[in-house]
Structure formats: structure tokens, C-alpha cells
Amino acid sequence: MKLEVAAVAVAIAGKRIVHDVSLEVAAGSIVGLIGPNGSGKSTLLRAVYRMLRPAAGYVRLGSDDVWQLSARASAQRTGVVVQETPSDFAFTVAEVVQMGRTPHKGMLAGDTPDDAQIIASALERVQMRSFSERQFSTLSGGEKQRVLVARALAQQPKFLVLDEPTNHLDIHYQLEILELVKSLGITTLITLHDLNLAAAYCHALYLLNQGRIVAAGPPEDVLTPERLRAVFLVDAIPGRHPVTGALQLAFVPLPHQHTDNA
């Protein structure tokens, strides 16, 4: 299902965080949103998954404006994985994944064998089936992240939004989670801090700086040394991954000068 963001502006407490952003995620592709801290990546994602209503523009998934849909109808097609708020509530892994069925369930609806099947296969997909009865809070960071992906899969989404899914994960789990996303074949919009991972796993990138898109296109076209110097304030030396052949950047700090970027 294709995502289209058109001329979207988002304000928080009266302050514009995102200005006039347009982007597209083609059906079945993975599109990365990159940019420095505070560039508006997460804010833009919030406008996409109905957390923050855009001040201007529209977000269209397939043929529907997501802000014309109810929260529930939107969640029936869009799965969201964001940083989980640490919680004192002792849910099991299976219960966490079961929450993914919420948008498909009316107030009086119980869990059917179908739901159990969907939950089991979502856990299977992320190789966490044997953890079903464990308490979510006792899992490692990588295991938690996989369970959260399983919850999004239990929503049976046509479109996935992932906000920094590799955050706080060691390199093994970073690659594992991105391999998983790639294998799903679901239209995905993802924010990533690691530019090399973004280059390796995304079909297209949008580079965001101070709330505006400053570059868009295939990774090679977006991640140029000039742009990275201007936006991230680093020197980047492009090379090739010795095995996959993907674009790989080596970073060098800029010579120490007045990095007065306020």
C-alpha cells in the first residue's frame, strides 16, 4: 500500500517543527528518514501514524487520508513500532503481542482461534515463540524489539512505521531487526540514525534538516559528502561494503573550528 505525504507541516505547542514536507513510499518498498537530532524525523512520523495532526498538508495511505480515518481504522492498516515506555505493568510476551489485535476487536469481542493463530505466527516470524509466557520486562533489548515488531505484525498491517528500531541494540540485533523488516515485504517508513544501515536497507532516503527535506532519492544520491558536511557537520568518505557492495561511509570529525550551528 502506497504512502503519500503532501506538503505536511507539523507544529507542537505553536512552534513549527516540520515544514512543507512531501514524500512517497512506493508499495512494498522501505524508505528511510534520516537527519540530525531534532531535525523533525519523529515528529513527521507522528503525523503519519495519527499522533499529531498536521497543521497543513495531508497524509494518504492507499486512497485514504489517514486523518479522515478513525484511530481504529488507521491502526487496522498501519503498524507502529516506537520506543516503548518502560512500564511497571507485568505483561507477558504473548499479552504484548495480543495488543496488536486491539484495532480489529470490538468492545465485546473475545479472542478467537484466529487471533491465537495470528499471534503465534507473528511470534514465530520474529523467532520469539518460545518466549510467549515470559514477562516482557525481563527480555533483553533485542528480544523486546522483536516482540514489538511481532505486535505490529499481529495488527496485520499494510504499512509499517518504525521509529529508530535499532536504537540501543548491539550490532547483531541491529542487523537482525533490519533483515526481518526487509523479509516482510511490507511498505515501510523507517527512521535510522546509522547512515550505513540506512544505505544498506532502504530503497530510498529522505534527508531532513531543521524540519525540511533537503535531499531525496536513492542512498547514493542523498548521502553525498557535501550534504553530510552541511547537515551533520562531519566529513564523510564514501566507499563500498566489501561483501554487499552497498555504499559505506567512513566519518571524520570536521577540523575543530567554531562549530557554532545555533
Binding site for other proteins (CB under 8 A): 13, 46, 49-51, 70-76, 78-92, 95-96, 99-100, 102-103, 105, 107-108, 152, 155, 161, 163
Distance between CA atoms of 98 and 112, rounded to whole angstroms? Answer: 11
Closer CB to other proteins, 46 or 215, in the complex: 46
The three three-digit cell numbers of residue 221, written as one number = 544520491
Least distance between other proteins and beta carbon 256 (Å): 37
The closest alpha carbon to 32, from 203, 180, 236, belongs to 203
Q: Which of 256, 150, 247, 156 is nearest to 194 (CA)?
A: 247
Pseudo-torsion of CA 93, 198, 24, 15, nearest 10°?
80
For the CB of residue 191, give the shortest distance to other proteins in the complex, in Å: 13
Toward other proteins, which CB reaches closer, 134 or 227? 134
Q: Nearer to other proteins by C-beta: 32 or 103?
A: 103
One-letter amino acid of 25: V
Which one, 86 or 242, has the nearer CB to other proteins? 86
- Residue 171 beta carbon to other proteins: minimum distance, rounded to whole angstroms: 25
| Minimum distance from residue 108 beta carbon to other proteins (Å) | 7
- Locate 224 and state its grid cell: 553525498
Q: How far is the CB of 118 from other proteins (least distance, A)?
A: 14
Q: How far is the CB of 137 from other proteins (least distance, A)?
A: 9
Cα–Cα distances (Å) from 149 to 109, 138, 255, in that order, read 24, 17, 41
The CA-to-CA distance between both ends of the chain, in Å, stands at 39
> Is 61 buried (19+), middle (13-18) or exposed (0-12) by CB count in 10 A?
buried
**30 vs 94, beta carbon nearer other proteins:** 94
Nearest CB to other proteins, comparing residues 26 and 71: 71
